[in-house]
Amino acid sequence: MDERKKPAWMQDDLVKDIPQNKLDFLGKMFAEGHGKSQKEMMALLLPMMKKARQEKLTFTQQEMNAAIAAIKKHSTEAELEQINKILEKSREKR
């Protein structure tokens, strides 16, 4: 991906140690989920996570925390609200 076209969060120092293929996957997931309702987002996430498993693309807890922190850092208030709701739902399912 062209450096100039990358979202700001993908260029943040918080994610500098995450391999590019993982960042690209997260970037696609974030872009496809942008503007979707919580219910639509959850429906999108399940198949994407299945695809990641099929491609043997796994994330450490540290990578996920760094990516989430970077995304939140570069999000609007509305996006932050949606992210927090999705994360809360995700924790409830565990």
Would you state the structure tokens that stand for residue 91, as one six-digit string? 């924790």
Per-residue pLDDT of the chain (94 residues; tens, 9 = 90+): 556 688 899 999 999 999 999 999 988 888 888 778 778 877 888 888 888 889 899 999 999 999 999 999 999 998 888 888 888 877 776 6
CA distance 73 to 42: 22
Query: Tell me, what's the pLDDT at 77?
Result: 93
- Angle among Cα 43, 49, 50 to the nearest 5 degrees reads 95
Would you state the structure tokens that stand for residue 56, as one six-digit string? 């043997």
Q: Specify the length of the chain in residues.
A: 94
Query: Tell me, what's the pLDDT at 63?
Result: 95
